[in-house]
Amino acid sequence: MKKLEYPMALTTLDAQQWTDIMSPVLQVSLPKAGVCRNFPRAVVFAPLSYQGLGLPHPFGCQVFKHLEMLVRHMANRTKNGDYMEANFQAHQLETGTSFGILQQVYNNTAILASDMWMKRVWHELEGLDIYVACDSPALSHRCKDDSLLVDLFLNLEVDQDDLLWLNWCPMFLQVCTVSDIVSADRRFIRRAAWNGIRDECCRSPYQWPRTVRPTRQHWDFVGI
């Protein structure tokens, strides 16, 4: 198990994948321990206090490793913690909501986030109903009563494919709030935003990921 535990901080395998990995190992090791090779796996992985064999399931070990990474490195402000904080903020910028990525509902906004380690851990923890609070700065509003664009899209309950396109255009424009794209009196959307042109007069405080320009079809969809 120790050899399997070594890379678990970075692996993001699900429970079934770990079961498949352990299957040939148990087929060989259980008979050598005097146990039937087909002994129920629920008993093999059960604790000794419940008359099990006390072998920890590797998926559970992986989850604990992930929690240790999040809690220990973020709290101690280590170099790895700084990398994870940058990853948190990058994901929050991608999803464009007012909540940190681990506080969002995976099925609502996961389609907006890049497929990286943090996203997979997010999916893993939500599936186990584990809540981790990370103190990461929220996306800022530029004025009173301002709103984040993605929050508005979610309130309108648009479907996942439409949400992806609706978020793609603001990502290219490097905007995330309503005030980023409207006139000073907030009555009109500026022409540059309608036409898919970045407004160089409005500098964003964020370092945005490189984004391919959406097609004319997608701009027309946003304008409907």
Q: Kindly report, residue by residue over 165-222, the tens digit of the pLDDT.
A: 888 888 888 888 888 888 887 788 888 888 788 877 777 788 888 888 887 777 776 6
Q: Which two tokens stand for residue 223?
A: 């304008």
Q: From CA 26, how far away is CA 19, in angstroms rounded? A: 10
Stronger pLDDT, 113 or 220, i.e. the higher one: 113
Per the structure, the count of domains in the chain is 3
Place of tokens 């039937």: 36
Domain boundary among 32, 59, 86: 59
Residues 211 and 168 in one domain: yes
Between CA 66 and CA 69 the distance in angstroms is: 5
| pTM of the predicted model as reported, rounded to 2 decimal places | 0.84
Answer with the residue of higher pLDDT: 165 or 17. 17
Q: Which domain holds residue 191?
A: 149-223
At 10 the pLDDT is 92
**Degrees, nearest 5: CA angle 63-52-5:** 30
Q: Is residue 179 part of a domain?
A: yes
Quote the DSSP letter at residue 57. P
Please indicate, yes or no, whether residues 105 and 43 belong to a single structural domain of this protein.
no
